[in-house]
Amino acid sequence: MRPFRFLLLLLPACALSAQTTKDTEKLAPYYPTPEIVVEKMLQFGGLKAGEKMFDLGSGDGRIVIAAAKKFKANAVGVEFDDALVKQSSEKIKSLGLATLASIIHGDLLKQDYSSADLLTVYLLPMSNDKVTPILEKQLKKGARIVAHDFEFSAWNRIRSRISTMTARAAAIVCTSINVEQLR
């Protein structure tokens, strides 16, 4: 009888979890971008001090933090996972980067990216396809997008870089897209 009672207690939690998933769709699993890839993505995107950058699905905030700390950019992450938002926000505060870096707790499909100079993306191909029409409508001329591993199928890349990491024996594929070619 006790296992049945335990299941009954779990039902409300499952319903709440389903509601959260229904309101905000998970577009990719959390898989941290290796630190060496983070810096390569920002370099590849040509990020400059004072530019506005967004990291879509920012996870633990490592790209946002690197953009603010190493490149002096105005860096914004978008993440819907409560624990990751809390973790990355606390890290930003502890590093004294709150004037340059922040995390938006929300759905990346419902944000305004019109001020972006650079977007970094490490999403699955289907997720890239979902965000494409939003970016086409919102991004300003000259904005750049750097996608790690998975390209945007609707757009032609302007350049691609493949690096092989000897330490991890893993390939990094970064694709750069310039919004000027979309218009």
Using one digit for the tens of pLDDT, what is the confidence trace for 56-84? Answer: 999 999 999 999 999 999 999 999 999 99
CB atoms closer than 10 angstroms to residue 121:
27
pTM over the 0.85 mark: no
pLDDT at 40: 87
Per DSSP, the chain holds a count of helices (H) and strands (E) of 5, 7
Contact 131, 123 (CB under 8 A): yes
Name the average pLDDT for the chain: 79
CB atoms closer than 10 angstroms to residue 168:
11
CA distances 145 to 110, 114, 115, Å, are 18, 13, 13
pLDDT at residue 161 above 80? no
- Decide which of 103 and 164 is more confident: 103
CA distances 132 to 114, 140, 151, Å, are 14, 14, 11
Neighbouring C-alpha atoms within 13 Å toward the C-beta of 29: 1
Separation between Cα atoms, residue 134 and residue 121, nearest integer Å: 14
pLDDT at 33: 87
